Structure 1
Amino acid sequence: MLQFKAVTKQGGGKLRKYYQNCDYGLCEYSVGTKLMWRPVLHAAWTEVAGCLVVRNEHHGHWMFDYPVPGPEGDEDAALTAIETYCLEQGVRPMISVVPERKAARLMARYPYVQVSNFRTWQDYLYYRQDLQLFAGRRYSGQRNHIKKFRALCPGAELRRLTAADSGAIEQFWRDYEAEFPKGDNAKARDELELAKKMLRMVDKSWFIGGGMFDGEKLVALALAEKCGETLIIHIEKALYSYTGVYPAMVQAFADQFGEGCQWINREDDAADRGLRTSKLQYGPARMGAKYCFEPENELMRHVEAIPELKTERLTLSALTEADIPAYNALVLDGERNRWWGYDDVGGLGGPVEERSFFNVARTDFENRQAVNFAVRLDGKLIGEAVLYRFDCRGGAELGCRIDKAYAGHGYGTEAFAAVANWGLYQLHLSRIVAKCYKENGASYKMLSSCMRKNGEDETFFYFEKSV
């Protein structure tokens, strides 16, 4: 089971170990974005298979960044770890802010998946030389504004910001708020407060802080981070009263701190019309797509109601209200269910009531997490077969239990085979897995008759059937 730790300033160095060489080019793959937006996204991280895995929370749902591999990282193993973690937690895996170059890999990985790529999320990516030189007709406006700024402040220069500049930075924020044009915009105010907190970390080795000084007065500032060949600009602020200072700072920052980078990422526009207009005027080379992958399982796509299956002797169908007494007796038979591998009572998380187990089965199907078949002989419930743990990659696990009064007649094998065939040939699964305790000779014999053994550990034998 993955163990996540909250993103903190103290742990930023661990993240930076992965992000410093990350070539995804998107702002989310940086220490700065994780720290700045942690109050909103509640980012947490872990390491698995030589990769950094980050879990965010948005509107009550977990969203995982695409894994960032280290030198010997295994992306597929990290994705499998995410999927297994979600399976254990009973939630669908959601892989978000996926860079375009990784999208095809996930399309091939998931048979059924919803994919989105919202315009609002996309980052603005510029060639570093374009912002460094502002050459050509399309940048004539920027060059004119820079000339006006240089005429107004001929001695202005961009300098590296350090902790020693904290006084100048605090004065800048006071000056900035005095002429802040969005003071009545709550979202903008919140972003400004986050920016202030970030500038207090200007001395961190991960960040590059730059300030445009007119003498000793700080009139513009920026905070950036190099990730691979991309310089990610986390914060850009300038005093509006200084005409032309904004493009002057953009150009000077690219020139002074962009060495070794092909790209400059000025992040997204948060659907702000003014920001969008401004960022488009600087001529982005491309928009950084951020795909969101929401895998689905076969139950979600193909099953509206639990079907009826028939074998030579049995009928398998949905549990009904009339089955509750017999179903409760089956589930509460502790001696029989010592081989079941799951504590039905403990899984309730509360007291056992008459409808408890029936409601769990019904809810699991409503959420398309499992399908419980009642195994019937001459109309009487004698057991159940459960197809569950859908991995969104074409696989599911199958379990079967038969009332002890009907054991030894092959009913379990018959029911198991029926559900396995339905799953593979009607539900369009590509593989079904099962397991049994090593001490359970009867289950071992049953599984061996209809599946292929594919491993074992100290506790279980594992089986698989695939098409």
Structure 2
Amino acid sequence: MKIELKPVTLEQLPLLKEQLPKLQTGDCNLSIASVIGRAEEYQIKWGLVEGELVLNWMPYPDIPAAYVLPLQSENILKIMQTLECSCKDCKEPLILFGRFTYMTEKISELMRYRNFITVSSNSWWDYVYDRSRIETLEGRDLHGKRNFNKRFYKAYPDAAFVPLDAPMIEKCRGFLAKWYEAHGEMTESLQAEKVAIEFAFDHFEDFGLIGGALVNGDDIFGFTYGSGVGGDIFSVHIEKADRNVTGAYPALASAFAKALPEEFKQINREEDLGLAGLRKAKEDWSPSTMIRKTLMRIQRDESRIE
């Protein structure tokens, strides 16, 4: 059976709202905003197998297209068998992408006599933090963040964190334009990010996004937003603050953590993409764990070889 895969567009919003939670395991890229907003960049396609959603994508450069599956589904074995036979008429291996522990344990359980190969890179892994630590900034390892936060509020004692509603989003568009102008050269990556942010602003409520801005009167020091990506994990998709304002970034992050719904206990601050500076910045927040993502190639079933 050949599976028909179609590009993800805004038209799939109702389907994603219904079925995407079945695919979520904490991966920052598996929110509605990311799947739709980055569909072209990640070459995301969708299909229905056994009545359930599967995605096919390339979330990182230089990796082959891989499937994301609803691994906890009662139909998962049938889904995998159908996909495997659709991979160029059973002549190519099935390639999956997902959270290492969840995926390897499930595939080992379902296909005990099959071999698979996993490939990963720590540049793909998400940094996850205890929400309470980011709220309070307590502990010796966060003393630097705590001090910068204090310096910010000493300079701006009336600063407040306010929700992103329609009027505030419009103000944040202006802040964003100035932020990119101050940054300098617009790389391909930054351009893709800008497009994704503008798209998210256009469909903020539709995508179930939660966010806010750090303001002092009419001045905006930064904004941030994100969404749930499975269980009690909230992913911060975007965080932009004025680099010229001392402590704006830690103040923004801490205020956002305090404002999140109580159901979220962990905060995913996404990958470092293999960039040394970004890696250091994320490690400076003292992650509690990492979401290790991997590419899995399930070896061909030799019994199918004629």
TM (normalized to structure 1)? 0.59
Paired residue for 1:385?
none
What's 2:240 paired with? 237
**Cα gap change, 1:235 to 1:73, in 2 (>3 Å):** farther
The equivalent residue for 2:136 is 133
In 1, the alpha carbon distance for the partners of 2:51 and 2:147 equals: 49
| Cross-structure match for 2:25 | 24
Is residue 163–residue 203 contact of structure 1 (8 Å, CA) maintained in 2?
no
Which aligned pairs between 1:333-372 and structure 2 lie closer than 5 A? Answer: none
CA distance in 2 between counterparts of 1:29 and 1:258 reads 19
The amino acid of 2:206's aligned partner reads: K
C-alpha displacement at 1:396, in angstroms? 0.7
Q: Which residue pairs with 2:297 in the alignment?
A: 294
1:215/1:282 CA distance change after superposition, 3 Å: same
Closer/same/farther in 2, CA of residues 23 and 40 from structure 1, 3 Å limit = closer
Matched, 1:275 2:261: no
1:242-321 correspondence runs (5 A): 242-296=245-299
Aligned residue in 2 for 1:217: 219
Residue 195 of structure 1 is matched in structure 2 by 197
Q: After TM superposition, list the pairs within 5 Å mapping 1:135-174 onto structure 2.
A: 135-174=138-177
Contact 2:99–2:291 (CA under 8 A) maintained in structure 1? no
Q: 5+ unaligned residues in a row in structure 2: which ranges? A: none
Secondary structure of residue in 1 paired with 2:249? helix
1:63 corresponding residue in structure 2: 66
TM superposition shift of 1:16: 2.5
SS at match of 1:224: strand
C-alpha deviation, 1:145, in angstroms: 0.7
The C-alpha deviation readout for 1:186-206, integer Å capped at 9, x for no partner, is 433433343333333223252
Contact conserved, 1:56 with 1:62, CA < 8 A, in 2?
yes
Describe the SS at the equivalent of 1:40: coil
1:34-85: CA deviations, max 9, x gaps?
123212222111232353210114659421113355xx64222222222122
Q: Indicate the residue corresponding to 1:393 in structure 2.
A: 301
1:33 to 1:161, Cα distance in 2 relative to 1, 3 A: same
Is the 1:117–1:291 contact (alpha carbons within 8 Å) kept by the matching residues of 2? yes
1:149 and 1:243 in contact (8 A); partners too: yes
C-alpha deviation, 1:124, in angstroms: 0.4
How many angstroms apart in 2 are the aligned matches of 1:88 and 1:244? 57
Structure 2 residue identity aligned to 1:235: I
More off after superposition, 83-92 vs 279-288: 83-92
User: Which residue in the other structure is 1:226 paired with?
Assistant: 228
> Structure 1 pair 14/194, CA: closer, same or farther in 2 (3 Å)?
same
Equivalent residue number for residue 88 of structure 1: 89
Cα distance change on mapping 1:20 and 1:133 into 2, 3 Å = farther
Displacement of 1:269: 1.0
Q: 1:145 to 1:60 in 2, by over 3 A?
A: closer
Deviation at 1:100, TM superposition (A): 1.8
1:175 counterpart residue number: 178
Contact 2:125 2:271 in 1 (8 A): yes
> 2:23, 2:68 within 8 Å by CA — same for their partners in 1?
no
Distance 1:165 1:284, change over 3 A: same
Tell me the secondary structure at the aligned position of residue 54 of structure 2.
strand
Contact kept in structure 2, 1:65 and 1:98, CA below 8 Å: no
In the TM superposition, residue 185 of structure 1 has moved relative to its aligned partner by: 4.1
Instruction: Give the 3-state SS of the residue equivalent to 1:211 in structure 2.
Output: strand
Partner SS state of residue 39, structure 1:
coil
Give aligned pairs, total. Answer: 300
Task: Work out the CA distance in 2 between the residues paired with 1:232 and 1:60.
Answer: 23
Distance in 2 separating the partners of 1:97 and 1:21: 13
CA distance, structure 2, for counterparts of residue 195 and residue 68 of structure 1: 30
Q: Distance in 1 between matches of 2:57 and 2:278?
A: 25
Return the alpha-carbon distance in structure 2 between the equivalents of residues 30 and 175 of structure 1.
27
Which 4+ stretches in 1 moved above 6 angstroms?
none
With normalisation by structure 2, the TM-score equals 0.88
Deviation at 1:280, TM superposition (A): 0.6
Counterpart of 1:41 in 2: which secondary structure?
coil
Percent identity of equivalent pairs: 22
CA contact (8 A) 1:96 1:293 kept: yes
Q: Is the contact between residue 179 and residue 240 of structure 1 (CA under 8 Å) also seen in structure 2?
A: no
- How many Å apart are 1:214 and its aligned residue? 1.9
Check the 8 A contact 1:24/1:99 in 2, yes or no.
no
Map 1:441-460 to 2 at 5 A: none
Q: State how far apart, in whole Å, the 2-side matches of 1:22 and 1:56 are.
A: 13
CA offset at residue 266 of structure 1?
A: 0.9
Q: Which has the larger radius of gyration?
A: 1
> Secondary structure of 1:287's partner?
strand
Partner SS, residue 264 of structure 2:
coil
